[in-house]
Structure 1
Amino acid sequence: MDLTSYAEWAVRLVNDPDPPPGLRGLREELIAVFASADEDTLVARLNALLVRYPVRPQLSGHDGQRWHLHLAEDSAACAVMGLAAVVAELGADRLGRCQDARCSRAFLDTSSNRSRRYCSARCASRANVAAYRARRSNGQ
């Protein structure tokens, strides 16, 4: 069962400037997870969220597929479980914040070499253009 798609829910919630009222508290807690200075703090915050938002898996068979697991429809629990699964399977360093000075959006680094630094191609391009212009103005 790939839980990365559930972790993407958490990323979308963190990046949503106006989340649904019932998810605003969770958004702030997830922002703290992404802002954690070290892995132990990140894991402690995720473990606390897992206690508050328990996951209820269910067997499901639809669209001609065999029986498989789905997490319950509670989006808060699914988001927390997805992040926990990414940290367990890939490592805490896969949770990132955009390195563009004008952006602080969260992202999941699913690259094979753990090299992602920006939330989107737009931010990466903007940062690269700014660096190029800075080099060019310095006569390089």
Structure 2
Amino acid sequence: MDFVRYAERSAALVNADLEDAPALVRFLDQRAWLHDQVVERDATALRRFQRELRPVFEASNDGDEQRVVDQLNTLLAKHPVTPYIAGHGLSGHGGGSWHMHVADRQSSVAELLVAESLMGLSTLVCDLGATRLGVCDASGCDHVFVDTSPNQSRRYCSDRCSSRANVAAYRARQRAAAGEKAGEKAGAAS
């Protein structure tokens, strides 16, 4: 299982507009095998889960490791994960294509996405630390993200927000420099 990918999917889930089942299907665009299983109840359950999960990212963004762990433990208790082994083993051989799934075959789409999110985030917190989740620093953006950078320096949810923030900061510096020059000229003239 790729738990980092699950953690990143959890951020995408928090950021997603899941107003109804068709919106959930659009969110699952790369996972076509789930489309036929989506029902309105999944979208409703996932909107509720989004509200429960966002505070985990906010606590991490604030550097509050204990709150991150406490909130994840609360969510794990509320949404038990039911993993199972699937695949095709090679009888009599030392290998096979056995692999783990985080939710059993009877799980709804919502239960699957919740399980992936919680397992991904919990594993990430245990492996990389509880402050690897963030809320975008860009003005007007409240999207969340997972920071897997080597030096834990990510501040924006996307390259787009990073570029917009950098351009805004550059323009602000240019205006400040222009204001200082105008002030110097006015001082020299008096």
Same fold (TM over 0.5): yes
Once the two structures are superposed, residues 6-29 of structure 1 have per-residue CA deviations (whole angstroms, 9 ceiling, x without a partner) of 112211121013351121111101
Greater CA deviation, 74-83 or 101-110?
A: 74-83
Displacement of 1:98 after TM fit? 0.5
Q: From 84, 88, 95, give the equivalent of 1:58.
A: 84
CA deviations 1:50-108 (Å, max 9, x no partner) are 1111112222226xx72121211521122111111111111111111111121111000
Distance 1:24 1:139 in 2: 46
Aligned 1:1-140 pairs, distance under 5 A: 1-18=1-18, 20-36=43-59, 37=62, 38-61=64-87, 66-72=97-103, 74-139=112-177
- The one-letter code sitting in structure 2 at the alignment partner of 1:86 is L
The TM-score with structure 1 as length reference comes to 0.90
- Provide structure 1 residue ranges, at least 5 long, that are not aligned to the other structure: none
User: Structure 1 residue 2: deviation in Å?
Assistant: 2.7
Q: For residue 139 of structure 2, give the secondary structure of its aligned residue in structure 1.
A: coil
| Structure-1 separation of matches of 2:127 and 2:160 | 28
Instruction: Describe the SS at the equivalent of 1:93.
Output: coil
Provide the aligned C-alpha RMSD in A.
1.7
1:9 and 1:126 map into 2 onto residues whose CA distance is: 24
Percent identity over paired residues: 49
In our comparison, the structure showing a higher alpha carbon Rg is 2
8 Å CA contact 2:133, 2:147 repeated in 1 = yes
Of the structure 1 ranges 17-26 and 116-125, higher mean CA displacement relative to structure 2 is found in 17-26
Q: How many corresponding residue pairs?
A: 138
Instruction: Give the TM-score normalised by structure 2.
Output: 0.67
Greater shift after overlay, 120-129 or 13-22?
A: 13-22
